[in-house]
Structure 1
Amino acid sequence: MTTETKQDELLAALQHYLEETDFAHLTSVEQPDLTALFSDLAGLKTEVKAESRQFKATLDSLSDAVEILKTDNQVLADELAKANERLQQQRREVERAMLVEWLDIYDRLDAGYRAVRQYRPVDGLFRHSKKQDVRFIASVGEGQEITLKRLEQMLQRRRVYSIDCVGQPFDARTMTTIAIGNDPSQANAVVLEELRKGFLLEDQVLRLAEVKVNKL
């Protein structure tokens, strides 16, 4: 079989294929429905706008909630600060009342200690027990002194310190005049004697000192 015969056969087969094959389905492209497409796009646009408005409303609600929460937190913080200040004030008042009671105990112990120190036995009475009495009074005085020192240490741990008065110029902020003296050897308005101790709680007066002031 020659080459020309083969070509003729191939051409005949191709012509037969083209005649028998239906190419209509390849050329008929379905056209879109533009009305439906625009309608769908308009609906989608409307839905997006609605979602956008709802999202904005949600953001506004959250923003309002955040502002309310901030306000409530500030109010709560202010209330807590005020409550803490009231608590601290109450604590200071209770502490002052307790310390004043301690000072009353201190005065009683101090008065007893001074009385013991000033004790002098009478020569004419109780000669047989004089030595024992003196030793007993001395031991009582030592006990009083130890108790006073411990009480002073307790007061100092709570920032309570006695006011130095004797020999100092009278200070109306920390002292009150109970008696007037006349000592030419001392300057005018100088404290001659401390009749009751005064105390400071840190830098605040806990109790005024009662003093005797020199007046020329």
Structure 2
Amino acid sequence: MEDAKAALLERFRAYLEEEPGAREGSDAGIDDKHETDAPDLFTLLAELAALKNEVKLESRQVKTALEQFRDLFDSLRQANEHLSAELSRRQQDARDIALNAERDILLELVELRDRLRDGRGQAAAYRPNWLAHASGAAEFITGMTQGLSMNLRRLDETLDRREVRPIQVVGQPFDPRIMRAIEVGRDPALPIGTVLAELRIGYRRGESLLRLADVIVNKFEDHPQ
């Protein structure tokens, strides 16, 4: 400890014994060194201006990149919307094709039902004579009538499972949306436009019209007394 104090005192004594000019020169050298190391104001402002321009340039590049990404995202969104619309349209077209195909089949079935009904009606109206009984034709007609009735019942069950049901029109006001007037009749007891009879059964499938009903519509002229 004493040695350290002695060394410090010796250095301080040596400093005091130095020439003043030497100390000033030494201090000036230190100041000049600090002044040389520190940038001047012009250089500092120039560097700040360069940094500002660089930041502006980078900001402009970032903005351009964002706009490009925005355009890309818009293009992707439009392409996705177009694809979704096209997919929906194709799905709807497929459903329409399936419905139209099924509609054609159902129309064929109701036409077949008309023929079965007419055939059963003719068979049921047949009145065999003694010769038909003797030859066995009467039994054949009876069996055929029963077979037609069974087939007609099965066909009605098939149509009912497909929600195909007949339209009730007799006694109703004429409705051109579901009916087609084939003939006119005259019944003063009923209002004008009332359906008097049905020539061909109309059908609905669910809430949609499958086939128009052909009807006879009441139409008469009032004669003044």
TM-score for both structures, normalised by structure 1: 0.71
Distance, in Å, in 2 between the alignment partners of 1:135 and 1:171 is 39
Match of 1:62 in 2: 66
Equivalent position to 1:194, from 177, 180, 198: 198
Partner of 2:156: 149
SS in 2 for 1:125: helix
- Within the candidate set 31, 34, 38, 2:34 is matched to 31
Partner amino acid, structure 2, of 1:154: R
Kept in 1: contact 2:170–2:197 (CA 8 A): yes
Correspondence 1:52-91 to 2 at 5 A: 52-70=56-74, 72-74=76-78, 76-78=80-82, 80-81=84-85, 84-85=88-89, 87-89=91-93, 91=95
Q: What is the DSSP-based 3-state SS (H/G/I as helix, E as strand, rest coil) of the residue aligned with 2:214?
A: strand
Which of 209, 212, 216 is the equivalent residue of 1:212? 216
- Structure 2 residue ranges without an equivalent (≥5): 221-225
Percent identity between the two aligned chains: 24
Q: Secondary structure at the match of 2:131?
A: coil
Aligned partners of 2:162 and 2:205 also within 8 Å: no
TM-score normalised by structure 2 residue count? 0.69
Q: State the match for 2:147 in structure 1.
A: 140
Query: 1:170 pairs with 149, 164, 174, which one?
Result: 174
Partner Cα distance (1:37, 1:175) in 2: 99
The one-letter code sitting in structure 1 at the alignment partner of 2:184 is I
Deviations 1:36-62 (A, max 9, x none): 685366235413421332223322431
Moved more, 60-69 or 102-111: 60-69
Q: Which residue of 1 aligns with 2:130?
A: 124
**5+ residue gaps in structure 1?**
1-6
- Residues 86 and 192 from structure 1, CA distance in 2 versus in 1: closer, same or farther, beyond 3 angstroms? farther
Shift of 1:35: 4.5
Across the aligned residues of Structure 1 and Structure 2, the Cα RMSD in angstroms comes to 3.9
Measured in 1, the distance between the counterparts of 2:128 and 2:105 equals 36
Q: Structure 1 residue 98 and structure 2 residue 122: aligned?
A: no
Partners of 2:195 and 2:218 within 8 A in 1: yes
Query: By how many angstroms is 1:170 displaced?
Result: 0.9
Amino acid at match of 2:176: A
Deviations 1:54-93 (A, max 9, x none): 2233224313431452355246425633652464256335
Q: Is the 8 A contact 1:117 1:141 kept in 2?
A: no
**Distance in 1, Cα, partners of 2:8 & 2:35:** 35
